[in-house]
Structure 1
Amino acid sequence: MMIKLLRYCKRQFHTIVSKDIIKPSSPTPCHLKTYNLSLFDRIMINAYMPVVAFYPSSGVYQRSLDKTLELKNSLSHTLTQYYPFAGKMKKISPTYVDCNDEGVEFIEACNDSSLSDFLQHSEHEDLNKLFPNDLIWFHPNRKCDDDGTSSTCPLAVQVNHFACGGVAVAISLFHKIGDGSTMLSFMNHWAKVNAGSRLRDQTDASPVNPHFITYQKRKINFQKDFPDALGRDFVTRSFLFPNQRINDLKAKVIDMITESGEPMVMNPTRVEVITWLIQKCAVAAATKTNSATFKDTGMTYTMNLRNSLIQKLPETSFGNLISVIEFPTSNQSEEITPNMTIGQLREKKAAFRSITNLETAVGIFFDTITDATILEMSKKVGNYYYYSSLCGFPTYSIDFGWGKPVKVTLAGRGKNTIILMDTPNSSGIEALVSLDRQDMMIFQKDADLLSFC
């Protein structure tokens, strides 16, 4: 299998060189063979989250084969702790994972360009080939069982070698088994196992094991699936906000809030001010292309429940421990003020922080999700903008023993979605923005936006 790209008059070759199945190094105990999905898992979208970490040549290995063998071995040991990832589950409306140790597909690929050339000259869409079997958000390949039912493996891996000796480690995780925190915890765990395999003193390389929460099966009283944020003609672009520009944006926001005479939003955070700016500029672009005409726009924001409830959960808690804050905005960008956007966001967050524990949160969510609420949400898909922040997560600590990554990012995304991530060395924030193609043409030229990038 070979993928060709034409970039800057140079033809790049990206070739799949091997495929393998990696099973856990020890079998999963009988009492753990069935992993029940939580309510938060079951209502999650049918999509694969694709994250990739890039590493320059380290000189640790003489051959790429040695690096690959070591990664396979450490992945096998890691899967004994993350045993649901090596199982199998239904692709549509799963309620549990069959932890049968079927294994994880491990693909090895080679690219004839250097890592620096690839990162410098590639568009965001070029990341797609780094991932296994096109398992990227809403476009996963499906395989069927003998009885014709659609099933899937929760995790797949692809390791990509560059001509310079650099490497990109990419994983695709099925969203119905875990969220972004689960995905990054797994990668950090795997990396520490790999690094520790070559160290005599493994104290500093000891992984932190996942924290599993036991869920009883619940009878869900709704029939409809939650809608996926699909888009037919959308593009993803990266926007970098350096720390100094973010400080300038904060100052502007504080001035706007002070001049408004409205109730004060104190000390806006980096994520809050960038979220406001992107929302204002995105709605302005949609209005100019008429894609937002006569439609009520709004915002949704993913909230990590691990550190949001009164009784905190371990950061390594496994699964989808997230909920969504949503509220309407305006289709007039000048009416999307910092007070309105940040104020509503904080009000919604405060409601979650008053919930005692996860059991209470699940009960509240279970009582409020009905066919009517799903139908109402389906009407908002396409008009709302979906925000997720991975800032503060251990993104750049994923060290397989070759040093920290020079870049960590996610591949293509659905329409009207924005993911915020820390940049290397915490020098700023990168925003991965996916919009309708026509909207993006206007958005990426917005003078207000560019003044802070």
Structure 2
Amino acid sequence: MKGLSSWKRSHDTRLDDYIRKEANHESLRELHPNVSITNMVAVQLNHFICGGAAVAVSISHKLVDGFTMVTFINQWAKVTCGGSPMKPYFLTPPTSYKNVELPKVTISHESKYVTKSFVFPNSKINVLKEKVMNSMGITLSRVEVFTSLLFKCSVDAATTKSGLFKPSILVHPINMRNKIFKNDPEKVAGNILSSVAVKMDDSREITLNEVVAKLRRGKMEAGEIRDVQEIGEKYASMVPMLIGDPSVQVYWTTSFCWFPLYEVDFGWGKPVQVKYVIPEVDFKNLVLMDTPDKDGIEVTIRLPEEEMLILQQDKELLAFIDIKSKV
């Protein structure tokens, strides 16, 4: 495949050192390849002295969204086991993307950013979801409720650290395939997503119900998009708000919940653990994934170190964390 790089690496450690003992995210980066302008898809096969293996895949966001990435990995695994892959439909990016300035990728010099993972069991998440649905009188998903809680607590941590509230934006992506393509939407490859930008201009707005309400309204508006061209127009109009004002803090979120990541089988059996490695850049990032047993959500968060220390002491958030998990 043009633009694909791959290599193998042997480690003198056990796979358990990375997944069973909650290795920090800096060590997980050792297992992960980097993409570049010439190699936009990179694969690294890691072997361990215990006989375990870890397959790490990086794909440029210029090519695909999360749905396409997961579909690619599943279809690749299917082929290795003798199956026939589906024939994808590759979509040309909308013309509206052409002159859009993207956020610049930078490494922090003023603040040290750190990445941590937290596990939240469904039993506790569902209690929160029921409480919010009862108070608002609407049906919600656990991802909507929990993304809103994470955003609220992260903004609270930033406010505590600086001593003053800054306007804050929650960016939440939405897979648009099922809304735009009626026939075989799962076969459409590319960036077929829209984003909701929930902006809070006043500290009095940062309540869980208010964040959830704005997120739900934004998703309903996105549901009115009719084609890929409108996706591009919406994104182009949103970008200036996200990168034009340094006084506004932006939280980028992603949810892989219900994606078939734990169904991937290269012939060795299904994964023991799937990890998402957040890029080492100056973005405030919140990523949600199912736990291996699908009985909870593992959240990976990247924030400035001082804000992370405050977040880890947030009593509202601690009430929903699995007490057995390490943070």
TM-score category, normalised to shorter length: 0.7 to 0.9
Mapping of residues 234-383 of structure 1, within 5 Å? 234-254=113-133, 257=135, 264-290=136-162, 293=164, 295-309=166-180, 311=182, 314-330=185-201, 332=203, 335-356=205-226, 358=227, 361-363=228-230, 365-366=232-233, 369=236, 374-380=239-245, 383=249
The CA RMSD over aligned residues, in Å, is 2.5
Return the alpha-carbon distance in structure 2 between the equivalents of residues 179 and 419 of structure 1: 14
2:305 pairs with 1:433? no
Mapping of residues 40-51 of structure 1, within 5 Å? none
Structure 2 vs 1, CA of residues 330 and 238 (structure 1 numbering), >3 Å: closer, same or farther? farther
Contact 1:309/1:353 (<8 A) preserved: no
2:297 aligns to what SS in structure 1? strand
The Cα of 1:310 is off from its aligned counterpart by 7.2
Structure 2 vs 1, CA of residues 250 and 230 (structure 1 numbering), >3 Å: closer, same or farther? farther
Structure 2 vs 1, CA of residues 180 and 335 (structure 1 numbering), >3 Å: closer, same or farther? same
| 1:73 aligned partner | none
Read off the aligned partner of 1:268 and give its amino acid letter.
L
Tell me which of 395, 399, 408 is aligned to 2:265: 399
| 2:88 aligned partner | 210
Return the alpha-carbon distance in structure 1 between the equivalents of residues 174 and 93 of structure 2: 23
1:325-361 Cα offsets, whole Å, 9 max, x none, are: 10212563x64223311211121111222233x3xx4
The Cα of 1:194 is off from its aligned counterpart by 1.1
Contact 1:106/1:156 (<8 A) preserved: yes
2:162 pairs with 1:162? no
| 2:76 aligned partner | 190
Return the alpha-carbon distance in structure 2 between the equivalents of residues 363 and 273 of structure 1: 27
The Cα of 1:159 is off from its aligned counterpart by 0.2
1:420 aligns to what SS in structure 2? strand
- Select between 436-445 and 243-252 the one with higher mean Cα deviation: 243-252
Read off the aligned partner of 1:400 and give its amino acid letter.
F
Read off the aligned partner of 2:206 and give its amino acid letter.
I
| 2:325 aligned partner | none
Q: Name which one, 1 or 2, has greater alpha-carbon Rg.
A: 1
Output the TM-score relative to the length of structure 2: 0.87
Structure 2 vs 1, CA of residues 219 and 302 (structure 1 numbering), >3 Å: closer, same or farther? closer
Read off the aligned partner of 1:253 and give its amino acid letter.
V
Output the TM-score relative to the length of structure 1: 0.64
Return the alpha-carbon distance in structure 1 between the equivalents of residues 105 and 170 of structure 2: 13
Contact 1:192/1:399 (<8 A) preserved: yes
The Cα of 1:367 is off from its aligned counterpart by 7.7
The Cα of 1:217 is off from its aligned counterpart by 8.0
**May I ask how many residue pairs the two structures share in their alignment?**
314
1:410 aligns to what SS in structure 2? coil
Return the alpha-carbon distance in structure 1 between the equivalents of residues 221 and 232 of structure 2: 13
Read off the aligned partner of 2:62 and give its amino acid letter.
K
Return the alpha-carbon distance in structure 2 between the equivalents of residues 165 and 364 of structure 1: 46
| 2:324 aligned partner | none
Mapping of residues 133-144 of structure 1, within 5 Å? 135=34
Read off the aligned partner of 1:379 and give its amino acid letter.
G
1:258-286 Cα offsets, whole Å, 9 max, x none, are: xxxxxx34122110121121112101110
Gaps of 5+ in 1: 1-85, 89-103, 143-150, 197-204, 258-263
Tell me which of 181, 191, 200 is aligned to 2:67: 181
1:209 aligns to what SS in structure 2? coil
| 1:420 aligned partner | 288
Structure 2 vs 1, CA of residues 321 and 450 (structure 1 numbering), >3 Å: closer, same or farther? same
Structure 2 vs 1, CA of residues 231 and 285 (structure 1 numbering), >3 Å: closer, same or farther? farther
Read off the aligned partner of 1:171 and give its amino acid letter.
V
Question: Quick one: percent identity of the two aligned structures?
Answer: 37
1:171 aligns to what SS in structure 2? strand
2:26 pairs with 1:125? yes
Contact 1:421/1:430 (<8 A) preserved: yes
2:301 pairs with 1:443? no
Return the alpha-carbon distance in structure 2 between the equivalents of residues 163 and 265 of structure 1: 54
The Cα of 1:118 is off from its aligned counterpart by 2.4
2:42 aligns to what SS in structure 1? strand
Return the alpha-carbon distance in structure 1 between the equivalents of residues 234 and 195 of structure 2: 15
